[in-house]
Chain A
Amino acid sequence: MATVTINGKDVEIGSNERLNCIQAASKAGVEIPAYCWHPALSVVASCRMCLVEVGDKKPDGTVAMQPKLVPGCQTPVKDGTVIIADSQKVRDARKATLEYLLLNHPLDCPTCDQAGECYLQDYSFNYGRGYSRLNEPKNIKPDKDYIGDQITLFTDRCIMCTRCVRFTREVSGSAELQVVSRGSHEEIDIFPGHPVNNPLAGNVVDLCPVGALCSKDFLYQQRVWWLKSTNSVCQGCSTGCSVTVDQNEDKVYRLKPRVNELAQGHFMCDEGRFGWKYTHSEERLTVPQIRSNGHTTSQAWEDVLASVRSSLQKAATGRQKLAAVLSPWMTVEEAWLLAVCIRSLSPQAVLAVGPVRVTGADEHFPKDLRGHVIEPVKFTIRAEKCPNRAGVQAVVAHFMDELMPFEELLRLASSGQFSAVYLTGGDPQGWISEMQAEAFSDVETVIVQDFLPSPVLQHATHILPSGTFVEREGIVVNHRGLAQLIRRAVRGPDGSRPDSRILWELSGRSGLFQPEALRAEIAAAVPALAALTNPALKTTGVLLETAQQTTV
């Protein structure tokens, strides 16, 4: 155990923790402002915002301070380190640095996307001087919208922290960005003809502490102070990056990565970052339907649900079996509700995990220009393009002795084994082909719960328009068995209902969907998911040890 003193306040540091002054100070609740330092990137100590006074406490209790200011990011703390971050000297240095940073800054906050979440604004307000003593013309640097397909650079707003440059060199490995020119004429630029279009490119926008690098997708769409952030989990692949969904008035504007060392670290890929657009697709299913012989007979939720219930009950009493397909895009709670509902009607009912889309191979970063992966791997985009195979599989495994492959279920369906099937979709890129859908053409009752049209709809007797992940609440389990909580961010389009609500009502449970109670129920019933009651679910998520053993 090591003791570090920050502004006269002692804080304990674990003996294995290797912290710099900024990290140690934040443990004591003291903010040391910094621009160039980022926990996931190398230290360059060039912005000089984090200057502090540092000293050592001698065994006899006296403190020997270093005469110079030192950058907090570059200075490791050890037992007896004394950090002073609020002296006049430190405050003057911060004030000077901020004045320098703002000398050539255009101060165009009213038209800048970053305004409201800008470190230049925040630190100027907290530590700056409030006016400029520059009487000379500012340097004007050209904007560079060619810097990437998704990224634009407002060069004059840049403060040369080089976080973006280091990201492309150290994390993506693609090294597109560089610094050109020298001194105050310095600019960030790309190597000619090599724009920042790597699969992790969008992260440079998040890394930029000011409004220099902006996302073309989000540009001028919304002032950030109108946005409400909700914790969620990216659905793009089984890495399950922790994200926040930023929305206003039920419209999603962007996804941003949320730091979670258990999940992915600090970043996310562009596939996930921009992969939420389907949630506002014009093609969303919004009308519940009962169909018979190609005719729609009702469009009211009450009628449709009653019909689903009676059809399932009828099928359960017949000679043929009941079957349900549990999509790997469902949450654990939804899968549980459906499985319990179907099994309570017919204990012999077949449950199968829906198709798991796998594209190519896992893509690891950093990757050099020839495509060779450089160790240590800092980010992985997984080939398994669904968020919750592990979680749904754990639920299905609880009810079925053997996991039935989706193809086997199709074969049974086409050979007339089922009187009713309950199909759940959820893959925005389509989960069933025309030919596969044929398998259900002769099944008497085909209930489809999905939010986008798919080939199977033509055989459907009941259509239940459901919700996307931004409209859901529940648990998803990623590739390494990390259970994370998705929170509901927006209301879905009129007519649709979140899956949990549909299934809750179908199960005949009273009142509103109660996720907490349901998780307790699951945890009690399924040992593999016993950790679902852990309060850490709400922040970093919980590693399900057993899930880990079966999926890694």
Chain B
Amino acid sequence: MATFEPALFARINKPDSALLKTYQADGGYSRLKEFLSMAPGDVTNIVKDSGLRGRGGAGFPTGLKWTFLPKDHPGPIYLAINADESEPGTFNNRYLMELDPHQLIEGIILACHAIRSQKAYLYLRYEYGTSYRVLDAAIRECRAAGILGNNILGTGVCCDIVLHRGAGAYICGEETGLIESLEGKRAWPRIKPPFPAIEGLFRKPTIVNNVETLCCVTQILYRGTEWFKSIGVPPDPNNPRDPGSYGPKLYCVSGHVNRPCCVELPLGVTARELIEEHAGGVWKGRRAKAVVPGGISMGFLSASELDTRLDFAGPGRVGCLGLGTAAVVVVDDQTSMVDVLYNCCRFMSHESCGQCTPCREGTAWMTKILERIRTGQGRTEDLDLLMEVAGSMGIIPGTTICGLSDGAAWPVKNAISKFRSEFEDYIRSRKASVTSAQQLMAVH
């Protein structure tokens, strides 16, 4: 794969890459008219044939999702773009929105055409102020140029984008939470069924897609499905349910590395390659102890699992939840896993929406237990308790409405099963040091 040419990131290093004229100079929107004159079903079929899987975290086949819309619905049908990029360690959508917004807008127009939607809602996380300004300017440029609005480029297709700025919550990135939030409500994920494709935003059929997914749609239409399928990992022949991991992917590398970066690579690159070749290796000459494969809710790879291929199936083979957002966070060997896990749990308990009992109470309880362990009050049986709590929450056992609590449980399950001896040592030594400090205090 030495010859890999970035596609999604092809333009990001060019000057004024966010402007319409430079995008058009690079060939953008040049074939939009042609694509919009195709039947919507043909666009869907191209995306379906490409094997594109959602880049937001779950990896659901995008074209298949589009076909779930009710046939012959009188409309309106909505497209919601999930730009609430809030998984810790993830920042690829931000690059795409700030540096190449027109690639995204073209993808939105194409997706809207495919699903017969005339309105797209772009749900942007509040913290992305620059993205907001860039996208807002780009949308205005497009409207002025007749690329958005009624009768796009004379094709008769109508599409407009509503830029919506969220108010800052992790749960707004869950697709039904996002829909609730767009409707002006508390972002409590909805019970499914009905799925958004049947009844979503404003009770109308809605497709929710990630920013990177829609950028891929643009590239697939321009470069073709063959190009897309030439990149990445084909399906596992031994697993008939594996649709494969095709296409380029934006990997974010952060944490204890020399050069945190966001880099476009074919799906299936290994964690080691990412760290060594693209992020300049672990910092201060240390070694990696654990690596988060795709945002903290996916769990941890241990040092021995660094050769895991980061495609949609790879992390699952070593006990992680999945590829997630492909945000790799590196933890060096001088960092305590107890502290890392505490940080994960604190985040998740802060962000739990509080709707389902197991997640609301479980995430907070796990945080409290880890807090206690960190103050030297831990007991080794706490680890079993943590595992039990983590095992009882999430959509995988069926005890919650959305996947947030699976994401809260996975780091706990992975950290304790893969680093149990470290946790036990920590509990024993911390207890001893706190006890001796207390004895000293008592003497004086």
Q: Which of B361, B377, B401 lies at the interface centre, i.e. has the most chain A CB atoms within 10 A of its CB?
A: B361
Write the chain B residue with the least CB distance to A183: B352
Q: Which residues of A contact B362 (CB under 8 A)?
A: 100
Is A68 within 8 A of B396, CB to CB?
Answer: yes
Question: How close is B218's CB to chain A, nearest CB, in angstroms?
Answer: 36
Chain B, 191-239, CB within 8 A of any chain A CB: 191
How many A residues have CB within 8 A of the partner chain? Answer: 37
The residue in chain A whose Cβ has the minimal distance to the Cβ of B392 is: A96
Is B398 a contact of A68 with CB atoms below 8 Å?
yes
Q: Which of A44-52, A249-257, A432-440 contacts B (4 or more CB under 8 A)?
A: A44-52
B357 contacts the other chain (CB 8 A):
yes
Q: Is B320 an interface residue (CB 8 A)?
A: no
Residues in B316-363 with C-beta less than 8 Å from chain A: 349-358, 360-363
Q: Please name all residues of chain B whose beta carbon is closer than 8 Å to the beta carbon of A186 when the two chains form the complex.
A: 354, 360
**Closest partner residue, chain A, to B372 (CB atom):** A136
CA distance in complex: A6, B401 (Å): 24
Candidates A69, A97, A134, A181; contact of B357 at CB < 8 Å: A97
Give the CA-CA distance A48 to B359 in the complex, in Å. Answer: 10
Residues of A within 8 A of B368 (CB): 134, 136-137
Question: In whole angstroms, how far apart are the Cα atoms of A97 and B399 in the complex?
Answer: 9
How far apart are A47's CB and chain B's nearest CB, in angstroms?
6
Q: Which of B354, B358, B371 contacts A160 (CB 8 A)?
A: B354
User: Are B357 and A46 touching (Cβ within 8 A)?
Assistant: yes
Q: Report which of A93, A96, A160, A178 forms a contact with B360, defined as CB distance below 8 A.
A: A160
Is the C-beta of B395 less than 8 angstroms from some C-beta in chain A?
A: yes
Compute how far the CA of A430 lies from the CA of B371 in the bound complex, rounded to whole angstroms: 66
**B371 neighbours in A (Cβ, 8 Å):** 136
In contact, B358 and A183 (Cβ under 8 angstroms): no
Using A69-B398, A136-B368 as known contacts, say yes or no to A100 and B351 having CB atoms under 8 A apart.
no
Residues of B within 8 A of A46 (CB): 188, 355-357, 401
Contact status of A69 and B397, CB under 8 A, knowing A47-B357, A136-B372, A183-B350: yes
> Could you tell me the distance in whole angstroms from the C-beta of A87 to the nearest C-beta in chain B?
13
A68 contacts which of B365, B369, B392, B397 (Cβ < 8 Å)?
B397
The one of B350, B360, B385 that contacts A133, using a Cβ cutoff of 8 Å:
B385
A100 contact set on B, CB distance < 8 A: 357-358, 360-362, 365
- Complex Cα spacing A104 to B365, Å: 10
Contact bitstring A14-53, B, C-beta under 8 A = 1, else 0? 0000000000000000000000000000011111110100
- Which A residues, 397 to 444, have Cβ-Cβ distances below 8 Å to chain B? none
Q: Which of A130-155 contact B (CB under 8 A)?
A: 133-137, 139
A358: CB under 8 A from chain B? no
A183 touches B398 (CB 8 A): no
Chain B: minimal CB distance from A221 (Å): 31
Docked complex Cα distance between A71 and B358 (Å): 13
**A48 and B354 within 8 A (CB):** no
Partner of A96, one of B350, B358, B364, B377: B358
Residues of A within 8 A of B351 (CB): 182-183
From B377, which residue of chain A is reached at the shortest CB distance? A135
Contact among B353, B392, B401 with A182 in the assembled complex (CB-CB below 8 Å): B353
With an 8 A cutoff between CB atoms, is B400 at the interface?
Answer: yes
Q: Which of A68, A74, A104 contacts B361 (CB 8 A)?
A: A104
User: Are B357 and A93 in contact, with the CB atoms below 8 A?
Assistant: no
Residues B358 and A48 in contact, CB atoms below 8 Å apart: yes
Q: Which residues of B contact A51 (CB under 8 A)?
A: 398-399
User: Which of chain B's residues have a CB closer than 8 A to the CB of A43?
Assistant: 191
Q: Is B33 an interface residue (CB 8 A)?
A: no
Interface centre among A97, A100, A179 (most CB of B within 10 A): A100
- Contact of A101 with B364 in the complex, beta carbons under 8 Å: no
Residue B163 is within 8 A (CB to CB) of chain A in the complex: no
Give A161 Cβ to nearest chain B Cβ, in Å: 9
Contact B356 A48 (CB under 8 A): yes
Q: Is B186 an interface residue (CB 8 A)?
A: yes
A-side contacts of B365, CB under 8 Å? 100, 103, 134, 136
22 contacts between A and B (CB under 8 A): A43-B191, A44-B191, A46-B356, A47-B357, A48-B357, A48-B399, A68-B396, A68-B397, A100-B365, A101-B361, A134-B368, A136-B365, A136-B369, A139-B364, A160-B354, A160-B355, A182-B350, A182-B351, A183-B352, A183-B354, A183-B360, A184-B349
| Given contact pairs A48-B356, A68-B398, A69-B399, a sample of 20 additional A-B residue pairs in the complex whose CB atoms are under 8 Å apart | A45-B191, A46-B357, A48-B399, A48-B400, A51-B399, A69-B398, A71-B191, A100-B362, A100-B365, A101-B361, A135-B369, A136-B368, A136-B372, A137-B368, A160-B354, A181-B354, A182-B352, A183-B360, A184-B352, A184-B363
In order of increasing CB-CB distance, the 10 nearest A-B pairs are: A68-B398, A184-B364, A100-B361, A69-B398, A136-B368, A186-B354, A183-B352, A96-B392, A46-B355, A45-B191
